Amino acid sequence: MMRIDIITLFPEMCDAVLNESVIGRARKKGIVEFECHQLRDFAYDKHKRVDDTTYGGGMGMLMKAEPIALCYEHICEALGKKPHFIYMSPKGKVLTQTRIRQLALLDHIVILCGHYEGVDQRVLDEYVDEEVSIGDYVLTGGELPALVLADSVSRMVPGVLSDDLCFEDESHYSGLLEYPQYTKPFSWRGKEVPEVLMSGHHANVEKWRREQSLYETLTKRPDLLDNAALTDEDQKILSRWTQSSLTDE
């Protein structure tokens, strides 16, 4: 079973998201376990302060080291081990599907949600195993990034989704973007579903889907092709499209 602990100033916010939809159902079934810890519970003054001014001056406040350390140590003591500790930070490596698959192999992750101007560097140096970013932009807090990480990792746990194919065919899992999909009705406002999808010929459907995935990736995220697992046939198709594009120019 996968367990994810989230250290946050807004545990109710995190629980509200984690109790919904597919992840919520998996949580109720005990397939994944989430514990959202209120960081203020580990503050050691009567005002429950978890932030203070920064040495050297500057605007804003910084999250203090001791409450974070106490919370993480509390988790470690309860488990009898030190789980993998992640800090959601714009300084971290950008989250990818490859890293998500790796993290999903762990049985326990702790995620720290930052706030204010960040976190005292000393607690990061002492306890945090890695810093993770969900993109090159800044948010008001680490809760949304933490929930993105928790959701993306949890859905890779066996039993969370009804079938492994639910995520294996999705964008980024194989290194390519997902092919276009259609549902009823067959004709919508003069636009019809591609005939190949109505043929019942599974080999042709799979071939069409692969080609469409290649096309979507080439036109929308060509950078992904550098690391995608491409067959010789894939390379031929891409080469043909690239040459055709150059000829049109």
pLDDT-derived band at 175 (thresholds 50, 70, 90) equals confident
Q: Identify the pLDDT of residue 244.
A: 78
Q: For residue 192, how many C-alpha atoms fall within 13 Å in the half-sphere facing its CB? A: 5
- 178-186: long-range contacts, CB 8 A cutoff, minimum separation 24: 178/213, 178/216, 179/208, 179/209, 179/210, 179/212, 179/213, 179/216, 180/212, 180/216
Q: Which of 246, 175, 162 is nearest to 217 (CA)?
A: 175
Terminal Cα distance for the chain, rounded: 54
pLDDT-derived band at 117 (thresholds 50, 70, 90) equals confident
Q: Identify the pLDDT of residue 59.
A: 81
Q: CATH 1.10.1270.20 occupies which residues in the chain?
A: 169-248
Residue pLDDT, tens place only, 204-232: 999 999 999 999 999 999 999 998 989 99
| pLDDT reading at 173 higher than 50 | yes
CA pair distance 110, 43, nearest whole angstrom: 19
CATH number for 169-248: choose from 1.10.1270.20, 1.10.357.10, 1.20.1050.10, 3.40.190.290.
1.10.1270.20
pLDDT-derived band at 246 (thresholds 50, 70, 90) equals low
Instruction: Say which CATH superfamily domain 2-154 falls into.
Output: SPOUT methyltransferase, trefoil knot domain (3.40.1280.10)
Rounded to 5°, angle at Cα 180 from 179 and 183: 135
Q: What are the tokens at 66?
A: 């001791």
Q: Identify the pLDDT of residue 64.
A: 96
- The percent of residues above 70 in pLDDT, for the chain, comes to 93
Beta bridge partners of 199: none
Query: Is the separation of the CB atoms in 90 and 131 below 8 Å?
Result: no
Beta bridge partners of 7: 37, 112
Q: Identify the pLDDT of residue 171.
A: 46
Sign, CA torsion 150/153/157/163: positive
| pLDDT reading at 168 higher than 90 | no
Q: CATH 3.40.1280.10 occupies which residues in the chain?
A: 2-154
Read off φ and ψ for residue 68, nearest 5 degrees.
-65, -45
Q: Identify the pLDDT of residue 242.
A: 87
Query: Is the separation of the CB atoms in 162 and 22 below 8 Å?
Result: no
3-state secondary structure of 184: coil
Q: Which of 203, 233, 234 is nearest to 218 (CA)?
A: 234
Q: What are the tokens at 76?
A: 């470690």
Rounded to 5°, angle at Cα 160 from 133 and 147: 25
Weakest-pLDDT range from 34-38, 53-57, 110-114, 200-204:
53-57
Sheet of strand 84-94: strand arrangement: 32-38, 2-8, 108-113, 84-94, 130-133
Q: Pairing mode, if any, of strands 108-113 and 84-94? A: parallel
Q: What are the tokens at 125?
A: 């140096």
Q: Identify the pLDDT of residue 163.
A: 66
3-state secondary structure of 192: strand
| pLDDT reading at 162 higher than 50 | yes
Weakest-pLDDT range from 15-19, 22-26, 65-69, 238-242:
238-242
